[in-house]
Amino acid sequence: MKISDRAWKILKSFRLDLVILDQTYGEGKDAGRHLDSGQVIGIISKMKVEKIIDESSLVYATHISHEGNSIHDVMEKVAINNGYHIAYDDLEINI
């Protein structure tokens, strides 16, 4: 899935405290209309460059499929190294 240029232009006018992205598939999986982990990492990186988010922004991936993804603890370690977290059932976020 690709975020359109128009959407990026709109996003650039905001500074977000919270971002939730779908990460249906593991990296390299043909994701169609869903994101894979590599795409999530790329979007987060671009959001930082464009100053849409910063180090204080909370970023979570959700809608995790069993196709091509590891267990939560392994995914969370990879996510943290790339500036985000993996959501889980009953997660509560304070903003």
pTM across the whole model: 0.89
Residue 92 falls inside a structural domain: no
Query: Scanning the structure block, which residue is given the tokens 């930082």?
Result: 48
The residue ranking higher by pLDDT, 66 or 7, is 7
- Total domain count for the chain? 1
Collapsing DSSP to helix, strand or coil, 83 comes out as: coil
Residue 11 falls inside a structural domain: yes
- The stretch 5-30 carries a mean pLDDT of 90
Residue 21 falls inside a structural domain: yes
Q: Are 53 and 19 in contact (CB under 8 A)?
A: yes
- pLDDT greater than 70 at residue 30: no
Give pLDDT tens digits for 60-69.
999 988 777 7
Residue 22 falls inside a structural domain: yes
Residue 91 falls inside a structural domain: no
Query: What type of residue sits at position 27?
Result: E
Give pLDDT tens digits for 34-67.
888 899 999 999 999 999 999 999 999 999 887 7
User: What residue numbers bound the domain in which 39 lies?
Assistant: 5-86
